[in-house]
Chain A
Amino acid sequence: MMTDGPSQAYESDAVSSRRPLPGILVAGTVIVGVFVLLALLAPFIAPFDAVEQDIPNKLAAPSAEHWLGTDEVGRDVFSRLIWATRVDLPIGFLAALFPMILGTFLGALAAYFGGWVDFVVTRIAEVVQAFPIYVFLIALIFALGPGVKSILITFTVVSWVLYARLIRGEILRIRTREYVQAAEALGYSHARILTRHLLPNAGRQTLVYFASDIVLALITLAALSYFGLGVQPPTPEWGAMVAAGQRFLRTQWWLSVTPGLVIAALGTGLSLISDGLDEWLKDA
């Protein structure tokens, strides 16, 4: 039976209840949540200081006192892994967030205004994309000098391109929708149409990509630190810890393997969030 409008019985539960969260999204959030807690509570959880050296007790095997042993200058590995969360987590997050902001802004402008704006943005994006990404990253950081600031600048310069392409494609697809035309007919400002009518409906893929981009940023950061271009010693950082432990891989393998496992665990959590978001937002 077809009914409509005033006579239609209205399902009130359909309005209030959102769809349930996918399991993998919950699992991913729990994993990442643990890391966030570790970062916040590091001073209370970590049994030792991150940089304090104890040379006589260097390269100790795991024991009741040092759960994961000590490194080449006698620092407690377990504590350094926890303290490093405070370094890796924010850098990874910001190294994905800044490119997302820049890329979304430029991509949205390009798609919305078209014409020469689109031409300029698209050409710049093509130039950036033409470089092999790691070569470009290393060259830029080399030029700017190692450090957190240059890592963030470099990541922003290099990886905004994908965000710009994502959002540009989405907005081009959505902007012919009738609700966007209705907004134009109502005389809404460009800023309002972009922020309220286009971006919230075009941002799904961006959000999904953002979660997985944090993983990429973390791994790249680890690789850069491994080459000595990332976070500088003695600040604890997982990638740098992998690099430092490499020399003792045969005898004290846990020096390299444990930070590697930690990176893998956080990466898994973020990937689960990414996939979970994709599923959850699919046809919302």
Chain B
Amino acid sequence: MTALLEIEKLTVQFGSATLTDRILRRRARVLRAVDDLSLTLEQGEALAVVGESGCGKSTLARAIVGLVPIASGRVHFDGMDIAGGRDRSTRRRIQMVFQDPGSSLNPSLTVRNTLAEVLKVHSMVPADRIGERCAELMDLVELPPAILDARPQRLSGGQKQRIGIARALAAEPDLLIADEAVAALDVSVQASVLNLLRQLRHRLGLTLLFISHDLAVVRNLCDRVAVMYLGTVVEESNTEEVFGNPRHPYTRALLSAVPRIGVKKTSGEAALAGEPPSPLALPLGCRFHPRCPIAAEVCRIEEPLLESRQQHAARCHFAWESTEPITIGEQP
């Protein structure tokens, strides 16, 4: 396997020193939404990025697509450096499915116009085949072709989301990024859209970056999982490892928050207390220590590195203390 996307030490920040800041010589309030993050995506694989809202996962997606500027770091896509900018044909190869079906489609265009525009701008098919291709795309996302002549306000959330997927697929991307693509949908619709993504992935050989706050959604869709906390990856491995043998206390807390049938919640499982600290003022040492149930002195002083053992990486001083799978909250 070769790497399709390689991200190294990526930082994305918002806000910079204003004139007043400079005159008053005060420190600019800079928000580091993505902070020193590294990730690799192999050709054809599906990687999930999970974390609480506000952890920077959407910003990561936007940075990869090129919607927000990159402050520092390397982003290599198919061997090309795209951190500084990219041409139109490279842009086409990375597409995104958005979160809110209510605002992801231009309300003044019919579905056909939306899809045909992609095909025309990028000359995906000859002009006389555009109609045919639109119908094919509808078939691909399992919608009746009658919908082609509808405007978005007449469609349901699930239909709109499928059209959002069709629009992305019209560009025939190599990398598809789904940013909370099912979060806004009803549970039953969620399942059908997830199913569609899984099928499309295999049928079209897509590489998928699936961003979600919901671990349960990720499990059946993705090969690997990266857990993000406050702008950086705290744990990364294949899906089975992350779910079965989590090494980072944050991952364990997230997993314990997933409701399971037949398992009684024990009191110790309320491991994740409080809100994450503001990314404007990151804690010293390990960024998770203020909320961590196993934080020790060292965590307040020294920031742990992303340490890797057998394809499993975790950013915790105690990740590899014992080889036994750590289970939290299952006290006698």
Tell whether A pairs with B.
yes
Instruction: Determine if B143 and A6 form an interchain contact, defined as CB atoms under 8 angstroms apart.
Output: yes
B113-148 CB contact bits vs A (8 Å, 1 = yes)?
Answer: 000011001100000000000000000001110110
Residue of A nearest to B108 (CB): A200
Q: Which residues of B contact A15 (CB under 8 A)?
A: 146-147, 149-151, 154
Instruction: Determine if A178 and B150 form an interchain contact, defined as CB atoms under 8 angstroms apart.
Output: no
User: In chain B between 148 and 204, which residues have their CB closer than 8 angstroms to a CB of chain A?
Assistant: 149-151, 153-154, 156-159, 162, 164, 167-168, 171, 186, 188-189, 192-193, 196
Answer yes or no: B100 CB below 8 A from chain A CBs. yes
Instruction: Determine if A201 and B107 form an interchain contact, defined as CB atoms under 8 angstroms apart.
Output: yes
Q: Which residues of A contact B196 (CB under 8 A)?
A: 5
User: In chain A between 234 and 284, which residues have their CB closer than 8 angstroms to a CB of chain B?
Assistant: 283-284
Instruction: Determine if B159 and A197 form an interchain contact, defined as CB atoms under 8 angstroms apart.
Output: no
Q: Which residues of B contact A181 (CB under 8 A)?
A: 62, 67, 96, 98
Answer yes or no: B104 CB below 8 A from chain A CBs. yes
Distance A115 CA – B142 CA, assembled complex (angstroms): 44
Answer yes or no: A20 CB below 8 A from chain B CBs. no
Q: Which residues of B contact A192 (CB under 8 A)?
A: 121
Answer yes or no: A4 CB below 8 A from chain B CBs. yes
A182-201 CB contact bits vs B (8 Å, 1 = yes)?
Answer: 11111110001000110011
Instruction: Determine if B88 and A5 form an interchain contact, defined as CB atoms under 8 angstroms apart.
Output: no
Q: Which residues of B contact A186 (CB under 8 A)?
A: 91-92, 95, 118, 121-122, 167, 171
Distance A2 CA – B95 CA, assembled complex (angstroms): 29
Q: Which residues of B contact A183 (CB under 8 A)?
A: 106
Instruction: Determine if B159 and A184 form an interchain contact, defined as CB atoms under 8 angstroms apart.
Output: no
Q: Which residues of A contact B142 (CB under 8 A)?
A: 5-6
A4 to chain B, nearest CB (A): 3
Q: Which residues of B contact A64 (CB under 8 A)?
A: none
B125 to chain A, nearest CB (A): 15
User: In chain A between 197 and 220, which residues have their CB closer than 8 angstroms to a CB of chain B?
Assistant: 197, 200-201
**Chain A interface main SS type:** helix
Instruction: Determine if B144 and A2 form an interchain contact, defined as CB atoms under 8 angstroms apart.
Output: no
User: In chain B between 211 and 235, which residues have their CB closer than 8 angstroms to a CB of chain A?
Assistant: none
Decide yes or no: A178 and B104 within 8 Å by CB, A5-B142, A15-B146, A186-B121 being known contacts: yes
Answer yes or no: B105 CB below 8 A from chain A CBs. yes
Answer yes or no: A44 CB below 8 A from chain B CBs. no
Decide yes or no: A179 and B121 within 8 Å by CB, A4-B158, A15-B150, A185-B94 being known contacts: no
User: In chain B between 71 and 94, which residues have their CB closer than 8 angstroms to a CB of chain A?
Assistant: 88-89, 91-92, 94
Residue of A nearest to B64 (CB): A185
A284 to chain B, nearest CB (A): 7
Q: Which residues of A contact B153 (CB under 8 A)?
A: 283-284
A171 to chain B, nearest CB (A): 14
Pick from A2, A12, A201: contact of B108, CB under 8 Å: A201
Q: Which residues of B contact A197 (CB under 8 A)?
A: 106
Decide yes or no: A10 and B146 within 8 Å by CB, A185-B65, A186-B92, A201-B107 being known contacts: yes
Instruction: Determine if A10 and B144 form an interchain contact, defined as CB atoms under 8 angstroms apart.
Output: yes
Distance A184 CA – B96 CA, assembled complex (angstroms): 11
Pick from A10, A177, A188: contact of B103, CB under 8 Å: A177
A108 to chain B, nearest CB (A): 15
Please report B residues at the A interface, Cβ cutoff 8 Å: 62, 65-67, 88-89, 91-92, 94-96, 98-100, 103-109, 117-118, 121-122, 142-144, 146-147, 149-151, 153-154, 156-159, 162, 164, 167-168, 171, 186, 188-189, 192-193, 196
Please report A residues at the B interface, Cβ cutoff 8 Å: 2-6, 8, 10-12, 14-15, 177-179, 181-188, 192, 196-197, 200-201, 283-284
With A5-B143, A186-B95, A187-B89 already in contact, 14 other A-B pairs whose C-beta atoms are closer than 8 Å: A4-B156, A4-B193, A11-B154, A178-B98, A178-B104, A179-B103, A179-B106, A181-B62, A185-B66, A185-B94, A187-B122, A196-B109, A200-B106, A284-B153
A/B interface sample: 29 pairs, CB < 8 A:
A2-B188, A2-B189, A4-B159, A4-B188, A4-B192, A5-B159, A11-B154, A15-B147, A15-B149, A178-B99, A179-B103, A182-B104, A182-B164, A183-B106, A185-B67, A185-B96, A186-B118, A186-B167, A187-B88, A187-B91, A187-B122, A192-B121, A196-B109, A196-B117, A197-B106, A201-B106, A201-B107, A283-B153, A284-B107
Closest 7 CB pairs of A and B: A4-B158, A187-B91, A178-B104, A178-B98, A187-B88, A200-B108, A4-B189
